[in-house]
A and B are shown apart, each in its own frame.
Chain A
Amino acid sequence: MNLGFIGLGAMGRPMALHLLKAGHALSIYARRPEAARPLTDAGATLCDSPAAVAAASEVVFTIVTSNADVEGVALGERGLIHGAKSGCVLVDMSTIAPGTARHIATRLGERGIEMIDAPVSGGEQGAINATLAIMAGGKTEVLERVRPLLEKLGKTIVYIGPNGAGQVAKACNQMIMVANIQACAEAIQLANASGVEPKRVVTALSGGSAAGRVLELFGGKMAARDFKAGVEARLHHKDFGLLMHEAAALGLAVPVASQVWQQLNALMANGWGNEDTSSLLRVLERGMA
């Protein structure tokens, strides 16, 4: 198939490579030409705009950072909407606000362009291993058309509901996951303050009811004091801005998430935005000084 891919960052690059390896023709666009290099080396065609990518593609994947980025790529001056043929499908795998996803889907729909909001969980490692969890919003028949492609990127692909529903699921994912990271940080701080070896605590807990991927990965990193990014904390900070806005708009009390948000604000203030979210442990330590 002729596919397009926009957003060749830590997540997008390995994902795009999986699609190439599966034998598809890939048109790509990148704001920074150096980001495109690994893909063009592997046989992808570099285009000069999202519109040009769309013109050459039956399905276009995007994975960029913010609401504004997705809106720009999809609806902007040289956006997908200006190049895509009717029946083209946009699969947006970015994490953005459900409302923005619905708005973009509506605008594209007016031109006969389909959209699936398909944010992912699993981090860079999940992207490299093609084991991402993909949560999809949109029309079921459109999802079924692109499902074989998504299967090259992830192993859990779940249809959640209409457009925006995928982003709602992702917001739920972030609430649980980052609160879980914060819980690990607090537990490890307790272990440290008690003079107990945190690595042993993490190992012991991995056999019990507190076990989980967050404890294993982030708890492990905290115990080893390895704060190098898997997922950059600034992205979780951005996601919390979105989901707390959503909670306020819905009139919901989410007290724990509101506290996690504040810890992430402190993390940003300390300059750890480009490092791993396990830096939440360092925020707690900073708060004791």
Chain B
Amino acid sequence: MNIGFIGLGLMGRPMAINIARGNHTLHIWARRAASLEPFAQFGAHAHVSAAEVAKHADIVFTCVADTPDVEAVCLGAGGIVESGKRGLVVSDSSTIAPAAARRIGAKLKEHGMAFLDAPVSGGEVGAINATLSFMVGGEETAFEKAKPFYELMGKSVTLVGASGAGQVTKACNQTVVAMTMLAVAEALTFAKKSGVDGAKVREALLGGFANSKILDHHGKKMLERNWKPGFKAWMQQKDLRIVLQSAHDLGLAMPGAAVASQLFNAMVGSGMGEEDNMAVIKLIENLAGIKE
């Protein structure tokens, strides 16, 4: 099939490659020409705009950074809306506000296109290994069309509900991830300040109720002082802003997420935005007077 892919960054590049490996023809566009180069070997067609991609594709996948980027790609000048055929399915794996996803979906629907909000969890590693989790919002018929492609990119695919429901799920995911990250960082710093071996603490905790993927994977990296980014702090900050803006609009107190968000604000403000979000442990150590 002819598949469009827009947004060939850290996440989008391996996702698109996994679709190409499924023997589909890729139609791609990127703001930076360099992003297109790795796709020559897959016989991908590079286009000059998102609109051109949409013209040639049966389904278009997007994975860009923030709400304005998704809006520009879908609804802006040279955007999908200009040339997508009726019945085109647009699946967006960016993390944006649920309200924005609903707005974009409604606008595309006016032009006969179906929009799926399909954010992912699993990070760059999950994108490379095709083990991402897709949480999808939108209409079932569109979902069924996109599902085989989600399965090329990930291993868990869930239609959660109507338009926006995928982004609501992602916001829930980010809430749990951010707070767990902070909890693991605080616990390991507590151990360190108490003169106890954090590696042993982690090992012991993995056998009990505090077990989690974050304690396992990120806890290990924190102990190894390995800050190589999978998921960058500025992205965590952005996602928490979505969570808290939504909570503001909904009338919902999220005291834990609010505190966590402040630490990710501080990471970005102190020049750590490009580091992995688990480097939040450095802030906790700073506050504890622990020097590296």
Contacts and interface: CB of A to CB of B under 8 A. Distances in A.
Interface string B210-253: 00000000000000000000000000010001001101101111
B10 interface: no
Contacts of A259: 255, 258-259
Contact of B270 (A247, A251, A263): A251
B261 A251 contact: no
B268 interface: yes
B247 A248 contact: no
Contacts of A248: 237, 241, 261, 265
Contact of B262 (A245, A254, A269, A283): A254
A255 interface: yes
A187 interface: no
Q: How large is the interface on A (under 10, 10 to 19, 20 to 34, 35 or more residues)?
A: 20 to 34
B187 interface: no
- Interface majority SS (helix, strand, loop, mixed), chain B: helix
Given A261-B248, A262-B247, A266-B251, A250 B269 contact: yes
A122 interface: no
Contact of A255 (B245, B250, B254, B259): B259
Contacts of A224: none
Contact of A252 (B241, B258, B259, B266): B266
Contacts of A250: 265, 269
Nearest to A263: B253
B241 A265 contact: no
B265 A269 contact: no
Q: Which of A253, A255, A259, A269 has the most CB of B within 10 A?
A: A253
A129 interface: no
Interface in A214-241: 237, 240-241
Interface of A: 237, 240-241, 244-245, 247-248, 250-255, 258-259, 261-263, 265-266, 268-269, 283
19 contacts: A240-B248, A241-B245, A245-B245, A247-B265, A248-B241, A250-B269, A251-B237, A251-B265, A251-B270, A252-B266, A253-B263, A253-B266, A258-B261, A259-B255, A261-B258, A262-B255, A266-B253, A268-B251, A269-B250
